[in-house]
Chain A
Amino acid sequence: MRASGIEVLFLGSNFARLVEGLWVTVRISLLAVLLSLLLGILFGLFMTLQNPIARAVSRVYLEFIRIMPQLVLLFIAYFGVTRAFGWNWDAEFSAVLVFTLWGTAEMGDLVRGALKSIPQHQYDSAYALGMNRRQTFLYIIIPQTLRRLLPPTINLTTRMIKTTSLVVLIGITEVLKVGKQIIDVNRFQYPTASLWVYGAVFVLYFLACWPISLLAKYLEKRWR
């Protein structure tokens, strides 16, 4: 019987290597996502300041990050900085740095938008009930902001996880790279390897992002 080629996934340590590759992806993106969420909230608050300098700074930062393709940012951090300043950042550090810079900008803009979308009369009625600024934010504004933030934040998180596949190009061996290696090695014995390996990579990405979607669904339901 002719083999379908799916066995290529289980040759030697192939599968374990793919999972390990996925772990690299997940590690980089989770770290970047967590940092982005924290810094993004601060950046979002910073963006709501009336101060013209704060506005100009955040605007330039946001536009710069948005205009630059992530790949270019990665190259600048990994190759450019080494050339220019002699700082020898390793690839994974560069990746986390770049994705955090990107995520912080995007997250900050989401936070700013969500904060702005809370109508003034929510503040007024809280103050009218005798709440001070801290209580107003803690009990009224932040809970509503978080609810509005949830869908776009999940979207951003999954986008960041998927975009980390770019780190192949600065030499990090993540799940896609491992897949490519497996395909290349088995090119002659298993001509259909690419289908199975990329299929497996697809499933692995799905498994990485799906729990996040589930969590979001659960929270949205709970918070309604």
Chain B
Amino acid sequence: MADEDRIMLEIAGLKKKFGEDVILDGVDLTINKGEVVVMLGSSGCGKSTLLRCINGLESFDEGSIRIDGEEIVSGSKAMTHLSQKIGMVFQSYDLFPHRNILDNITLAPVKVQRRAKEDARAQAEQLLRRVGLWEKRKAYPRELSGGQKQRVAIVRALCMNPEIMLFDEVTAALDPEMVREVLDVMLELAQGGMTMLIVTHEMGFARAVADRIVFLDEGKILENLPAETFFNNPSTQRAKDFLQTFEFKKH
């Protein structure tokens, strides 16, 4: 297989400003098919903005983003086609409150991808069963717990058969005891060969799921290392300091 065919996501020289503030300052990142990359960094370092640029929710000033060889241009006509290749799950459980769980999942496959209802339903059933929520298919989002809603949001993104999944701090707003059920779903997904770019503050999870860790600081990628290397032996002081903040020792 040629090298180009293996590349899922290719970001080159990405720059993004909000007014005078430089949010992303020349980001280069390549993710291969089937790879799981976890992006770490303190809040405000540009992680979320980077994800939003990748699926076209945010425009950028310089550089390029390619998904499977196709260039991302925010707001363009081709973007709606491209964003179907990119599944995204947000921090705030963002289900559509006026539709039940099943409709939440099948709406976009039916209306956007013009798939047959039965087909979308069958896939939704299979995915919902996998995350243990098939019984809730008739329920409305407000009847579900945070963890359940987030699992549905993952299923909703998966039902579009994306080629890459982006996760933006999806457990950050959850009660601690619900974090696990969501992370387990993501872990299973990673083991199934899905290409994933994950932003998280769950260090244990990052270590378990990631092939590679990308450490972002002030809009720049400071580290881009295999997960074990990053956690055991980060090369920059900034990354060392960052990892320290997650460690507690008795003095």
**A: which residues have CB within 8 A of B?**
119, 121-122, 124-132, 135, 139-140, 143-144, 147, 223-224
Contacts and interface: CB of A to CB of B under 8 A. Distances in A.
24 contacts: A122-B94, A125-B88, A125-B90, A125-B95, A125-B96, A125-B153, A126-B96, A127-B56, A127-B80, A128-B55, A128-B86, A129-B84, A129-B157, A129-B160, A130-B80, A130-B83, A130-B84, A130-B160, A131-B80, A131-B111, A135-B111, A143-B98, A144-B96, A144-B98
Nearest to A128: B88
Given A130-B81, A139-B107, 18 more contacts: A122-B96, A124-B94, A125-B94, A126-B96, A127-B56, A127-B80, A128-B90, A128-B157, A130-B84, A130-B108, A130-B113, A131-B108, A131-B111, A131-B112, A132-B80, A135-B111, A147-B98, A224-B140
A140 B96 contact: yes
B92 interface: yes
Contacts of B92: 119, 121
A139 to B, nearest CB: 6
Contacts of A139: 107, 111
Contacts of A124: 57, 90, 94
B151 interface: no
B97 interface: yes
A121 B111 contact: no
The 6 A-B residue pairs with the shortest CB-CB distance, nearest first, are: A129-B108, A130-B84, A125-B94, A128-B88, A121-B94, A130-B112
Contacts, number: 61
Contacts of A125: 88, 90, 94-96, 153
Interface of B: 55-57, 80-81, 83-84, 86-88, 90, 92, 94-98, 107-108, 111-113, 140, 153, 156-157, 160
Which residue among A126, A129, A144 has the maximum number of chain B CB atoms within 10 Å of its CB?
A129
A216 B14 CA distance: 51
A195 B112 CA distance: 63
A129 B88 CA distance: 8
Contact of A129 (B97, B112, B140): B112
Contacts of B107: 129, 139
